[in-house]
Amino acid sequence: MPIIFEMPSLSPTMEKGNLVSWCKAEGDEIAVGDVIAEIDTDKATMEVESIYKGVLAKILVPAGTHDVAVRQPIAVIRQKGDKDEDVQRAIDGLASAGVGAVAAAPVDEEVGSEQGRAFSAPSVEVGDRVKASPLAWRLASEYGVDISRVAGTGPHGRVVKDDVLAAKDAVPLQAPTDMPNGARFVDEPISSMRRVIAEKLTKSKQETPHFYMNASVNITALLNMRRQINDSGKLDTKITVNDLIVRAVALAMRDEPGVNVAWQNGFMRRFSTIDVSVAVAVEGGLLTPIVWGADQKPISAISKEIKVLAHDAKDGKLKPEQFIGGGITVSNLGMFGVNSFFSIINPPQGSILSVGGSVKTPVCDEGGDITVGDVVNIGYAVDHRVIDGGTAAKFLSVLREYLEQPLLLLV
């Protein structure tokens, strides 16, 4: 019996996806584990592997189609023993149910510009489909570049990232629109990532009862320890302040497990492992890859892992298991000169930390003497459904202790 291949759900928040490309053509043999399509989700462009064996008999949704709903039929796979009439019967059954071949997303005629027309996914025939890397597809979508018109310089004419970036610079910008009062604006299309971020965080802000705390922490000793570690040359990676903060957060969560929780549709999920999400800014949005079991890893391992995760996030190579989950998120904007801020909770997590940059500030030591310290402000946004004020305050107090006595991070 033919198999109806549906649009897969590749992340908990995914409701729709862009069918970037088919890696198999109609009539191609498919083995279990073969990559058959590339899907652009709310998080990244991912390769979809087949769990079936057979022949790709019919493609229902062409490459380049935007906003394909999860579980919508996108192809028919012929299994061993299936006849032509079996395949046709399956296709006819879908058609009678209102599901047939889906046209590529239409051009928005109101945009009117060449860039606006290029943003709509090109209608590419499977037999003559564009060969491009997943990152090239994602960047083309975000920058409004018609990838079917880009000359590929990769192997066998494959379009790669640099080709899209070069084409982006060559695409004329949409002409600004003049308003009666003299103001001018340009309407730009948004990527699926940006749309989902908007929907997800709007829902979080509206439905999650946030409350906020902040703490000032003297990290002078932490900075001195980091400098000594990096100057020693004993490690093959440079430790960052953020690496040390992630380690401190993990240990503080271990000491105060009451914050390692999440709201799950009417019940509280309490995590038994300590997994810290790290906010990474990428082109067109934000991703939060996870350091799993962060309390069990030394600083050097955390540092290497964060570097790899950040690199993969920016290249669109993260897999779902690398960013789905986590008990808390750390967002650090100190390197941009931001002194303090509060973030919106990343659902379903129960809290998020916002770390500002260090500022030279007069501080009073235990002996009453005034010295100059490197002070950072840490904002803490908390979901009151799962974490109370006292629990949150204890966690911040323990976190401050780890950051102000950094040798504890090495134990």
Residues annotated as catalytic (active site), given as ranges: 384
Strand pairing of 16-22 and 29-30? unpaired
Using alpha carbons, select from 77, 66, 64 the residue that is nearest to residue 6: 77
Query: Which is it for strands 73-78 and 29-30: parallel, antiparallel or unpaired?
Result: unpaired
Instruction: Please give the structure tokens belonging to residue 380.
Output: 């803490």
Distance CA 253, CA 327 (A): 9
Do residues 405 and 279 make contact, with C-beta atoms less than 8 angstroms apart? no
| Cα distances (Å, whole numbers) of residue 72 to 14, 30, 97, 166, 386 | 13, 20, 12, 35, 35
- Cα 216 to chain centroid, rounded: 29
At residue 246, what are phi and psi to the nearest 5 degrees?
Answer: -60, -45
Strand order in the sheet with 73-78: 3-6, 73-78, 54-59, 29-30
- The answer to whether the beta carbons of residues 318 and 289 sit under 8 Å apart is yes
Q: What is the DSSP letter of 349?
A: B
Tell me the pairing of strands 73-78 and 3-6. Answer: antiparallel
Separation CA 151–CA 258 (nearest Å): 55
Of 117, 120, 283, the residue nearest 193 (C-alpha): 283
Q: Using an 8 Å Cβ cutoff, are 357 and 339 in contact?
A: yes
Which amino acid is located at 367 in the chain? Answer: G
CA dist., res. 310 & res. 300, Å (int): 16
d(CA 146, CA 170): 12
For 405, the 3-state DSSP assignment is coil
Place of tokens 């409701």: 15
Q: Are 331 and 354 in contact (CB under 8 A)?
A: yes
